[in-house]
């Protein structure tokens, strides 16, 4: 019996109690089950009686006992106890608890997927680095967190598109092109330009791709150099993310926002001003066009078009937000770096000015800084720590797991010595080794003739088996909660607890017989429990974008 099945059965008991008392039953998803910290208290606990006692006008323990009497009649429930002010502690019988192992094996990669976010259409934007240089350590964290969150939301039933916003318009692109052109001409970096050996490398690659540029004047060469260098740098960013196991559904170019339609219609930025004005939040003052963002919690109103007709960055932000709405995304999530706190009110204000609900239609998650002891600045970029260098040094799995292991709003410092150890104090090794051990157990069992031809859930009675099954049962809840709270670290911490439960089971229960003892049903049944654990470890690691090796 899995938690969803038990919750549904308890709901029937509670609904019957509501009908007897003439009271309103809770919502079907209102039966919340939790794992007791102390396993002596049972397999599952619920506070449903405490939540309903006041609206039903009954003492909590009295209602708890009434519900407990009904729950005790559910097939597969071994016992129910009323604890404290009205908690119900529920223990399943071995057969009901153990049946989950076979169900996990049958569901395979789908186990843990749920429909808690079904019906949601979400655009998740993250990384969105300027295409003027290589990705750095901050982008590395946002890539790991954003991609893990995308996987979690999709696993929870959301229709989600992951998106990279390419800031390929504006002054920074002009400075970028001028910097590459200066390197190509062997001149010093222009004032406010981009320094670094990577600019020289780009200049060499531009000439290799288009030798004729050398013969052009600066005026004619600049736009071509800028475009060639931009495409090369964007390709480098894409390749870096792909090596990091991050793939975006959409790469959205800012240039689109500035481009009029083929039929002569206004550009999206021009259209954005008109659409916001139609909502009643645009006004003219001091020879400029403003959006009254203070109506939605911003600290000041924002200029969207200056008196000289030039649009501000705010205009592009507004047009980009509206484009997401036009593409059918009711909910927008932005994962931004620690230096973007000012964007929170701005994006909320854009949502409000566009007629959306700033409290529910847009989320802005601010990721905090990450530091890695001993990491050296890039030799190519000079003033940053590059993703490529970190990946070559520590590896994709160690980086992705470690960066997803902490809340986004928590500054972190990673210890490379620990991340490179093949010991249990390295969290990613600890979890991956647990998976590799499940595969080694399966290989050993096959060699000794133990096959999964029988399954008797009632034989899984050892205390470590009860604990392991309880942990496996909790996986779908952890996935749904991590998606809802936007906290991938919950999956990482869960996997570490699951690995610990598995290792303790491995030390106590044999899948293969001792010596010349015969193969029995209990061995074949435990083989399925071993397979179920391996499956959940794989599923969890996949949600974090981390591999599950068969051998270590």
Q: What is the pLDDT of residues 60-83, one digit of tens each?
A: 999 999 999 999 999 999 999 999
Distance CA 189, CA 184 (A): 11
Q: What per-residue confidence (pLDDT) applies to 37?
A: 76
Question: Distance between CA atoms of 372 and 23, rounded to whole angstroms?
Answer: 57
Look up the pTM and report it.
0.90
Q: Binning pLDDT at 50, 70 and 90, where does residue 369 land?
A: confident
Instruction: Report, as an integer, the average pLDDT of 24-43.
Output: 83
Which token pair is 179?
């910097």
Instruction: Tell me how crowded residue 417 is: count the other CB atoms within 10 A of its CB.
Output: 10
Of 337 and 76, the one with more pLDDT: 76
Residue range 16-39: average pLDDT?
A: 86
User: What's the rounded Cα separation, in Å, for the pair 92 and 44?
Assistant: 8
The confidence score (pLDDT) of residue 168 equals 95
Question: With bands split at pLDDT 50, 70 and 90, how would you rate the model's confidence at 95?
Answer: confident
The number of helices, as runs of H, and strands, as runs of E, in the chain is: 20, 13
Q: What is the mean pLDDT of residues 541-551?
A: 98
Q: In residues, how long is the chain? A: 552
Mapped onto helix, strand or coil, the DSSP state of residue 320 is helix
Q: How far apart are CA 547 and CA 493, in angstroms?
A: 16
Is 73 exposed, middle or buried (CB count within 10 Å of its CB: 0-12, 13-18, 19+)?
Answer: exposed
Residue 544 has pLDDT above 90, yes or no: yes
pLDDT at 107 over 80: yes
Q: What is the dihedral of CA 14, 15, 18, 22, to 10 degrees?
A: -170
The pLDDT of residue 342 is above 80: no
Q: Which residues contact 78 (CB under 8 A, 6 or more apart)?
A: 91, 92, 93, 96
DSSP state letter for 545: T
pLDDT at position 82 is 96
pLDDT > 70: percent of the chain:
100
Distance CA 539, CA 111 (A): 8
- CB-based contact 80:88 (threshold 8 Å): yes
Residue 221, judged by CB atoms within 10 A of its CB (0-12, 13-18, 19+), counts as buried
Strand partners, 372: 414
- Identify the pLDDT of residue 439: 98
Q: What would the pLDDT profile of 234-280 be if each residue is shown by its tens digit?
A: 999 999 999 999 999 999 999 999 999 888 888 999 999 999 999 99
- Contact between 189 and 177 under an 8 Å Cβ cutoff? The reply is no
pLDDT at 3: 82
Q: In whole numbers, what is the pLDDT of the chain averaged over residues? A: 93
- At 184-237, the pLDDT tens digits run 999 999 999 999 999 999 999 999 999 999 999 999 999 999 999 999 999 999
Band of residue 39 on the pLDDT scale cut at 50, 70, 90: confident
Give the torsion through C-alpha atoms of 393, 398, 400, 406, to 10 deg.
-120
Cβ(122)–Cβ(371) under 8 Å?
no
- Do 63 and 86 contact (CB within 8 A), yes or no? yes
Per-residue pLDDT tens over the stretch 219-232: 999 999 999 999 99
Q: How do residues 298-335 score in pLDDT, each as one tens digit?
A: 888 999 999 998 899 899 999 999 999 999 999 999 99
Is the pLDDT score of 498 beyond 80?
Answer: yes
413 in helix, strand or coil? strand
Tell me how far apart the alpha carbons of residues 505 and 101 are, in angstroms, rounded to a whole number: 14
pLDDT confidence of residue 30: 77
Going along the chain from its start, the domains and CATH numbers come out as: 3-92 (3.30.1360.70), 421-543 (1.10.730.10)
Stronger pLDDT, 549 or 262, i.e. the higher one: 549
Q: How many Cβ atoms sit within 10 Å of the Cβ of residue 98? A: 26
Chain segment 113-154, per-residue pLDDT in tens: 999 999 999 999 999 999 999 999 989 999 999 999 999 999
Which of 23-32, 324-333, 347-356 shows the lowest mean pLDDT across its residues?
Answer: 23-32
- CB-based contacts of 77: which residues, under 8 Å, 6+ apart? 6, 71, 90, 91, 92, 93, 96
Of 281, 457, 294, the residue nearest 355 (C-alpha)? 281
């Amino acid at each position: 019996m899995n938690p969803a099945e038990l919750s549904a059965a308890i709901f029937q008991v509670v609904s019957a109690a509501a009908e007897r008392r003439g009271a309103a039953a809770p919502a079907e998803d209102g039966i919340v089950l939790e794992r007791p910290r102390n396993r002596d208290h049972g397999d599952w606990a619920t506070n449903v009686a405490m939540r309903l006692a006041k609206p039903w006008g009954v003492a909590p323990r009295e209602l708890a006992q009434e519900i407990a009497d009904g729950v005790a009649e559910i097939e597969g429930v071994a016992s129910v106890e009323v604890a404290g002010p009205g908690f119900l502690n529920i223990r399943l019988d071995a057969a009901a608890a153990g049946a989950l192992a076979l169900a996990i094996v049958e569901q395979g990669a789908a186990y843990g997927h749920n429909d808690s976010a079904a019906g949601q259409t979400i655009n998740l934007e993250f990384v969105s680095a300027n295409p003027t240089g290589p990705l750095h350590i901050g982008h590395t964290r946002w890539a790991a967190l954003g991609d893990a969150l995308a996987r979690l939301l999709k696993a929870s039933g959301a229709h989600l598109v992951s998106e990279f916003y390419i800031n390929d318009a504006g002054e920074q692109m002009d400075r970028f092109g001028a910097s590459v052109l200066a390197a190509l001409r062997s001149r010093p970096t222009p004032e406010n330009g981009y320094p670094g050996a990577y600019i020289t490398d780009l200049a060499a690659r531009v000439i290799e791709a288009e030798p004729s540029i050398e013969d052009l004047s600066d005026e004619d060469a600049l736009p071509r150099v800028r475009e060639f260098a931009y495409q090369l740098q964007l390709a480098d960013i894409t390749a870096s993310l792909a090596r990091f196991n991050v793939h975006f559904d959409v790469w959205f170019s800012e240039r689109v926002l500035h481009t009029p339609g083929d039929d002569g219609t206004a550009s999206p930025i021009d259209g954005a001003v008109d659409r916001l004005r139609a909502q009643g939040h645009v006004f003219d003052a001091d020879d400029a066009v403003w959006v009254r963002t203070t109506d939605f919690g911003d600290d000041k109103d924002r200029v969207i078009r200056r008196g000289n007709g030039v649009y501000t960055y705010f205009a592009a932000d507004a047009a980009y937000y509206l484009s997401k709405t036009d593409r059918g995304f009711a909910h927008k999530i932005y994962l931004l770096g620690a230096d973007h706190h000012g964007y929170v009110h701005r994006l909320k204000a854009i949502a409000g000015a566009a007629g959306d609900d700033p409290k529910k239609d847009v989320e802005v998650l601010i990721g905090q800084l990450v530091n890695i002891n001993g990491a050296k600045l890039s030799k190519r970029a000079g003033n940053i720590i590059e993703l490529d260098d970190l990946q070559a040094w520590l590896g994709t799995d160690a980086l992705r797991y470690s960066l997803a292991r902490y809340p986004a709003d928590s500054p972190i410092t990673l210890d490379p010595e620990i991340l490179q150890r093949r010991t249990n104090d390295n969290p990613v090794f600890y979890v991956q080794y647990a998976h590799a051990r499940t595969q080694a157990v399966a290989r050993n069992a096959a060699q000794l003739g133990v096959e999964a031809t029988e399954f008797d859930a009632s034989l899984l009675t050892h205390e470590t088996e009860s604990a392991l099954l309880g942990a496996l049962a909790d996986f779908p809840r952890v996935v749904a909660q991590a998606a809802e709270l936007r906290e991938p670290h919950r999956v990482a911490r869960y996997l570490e607890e699951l690995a610990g439960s598995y290792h303790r089971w491995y030390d106590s229960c044999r899948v293969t017989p001792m010596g010349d003892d015969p193969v029995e049903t209990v061995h074949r049944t435990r083989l399925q429990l071993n397979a179920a654990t391996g499956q959940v470890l794989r599923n969890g690691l996949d949600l974090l974008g981390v591999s599950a090796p068969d051998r270590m």
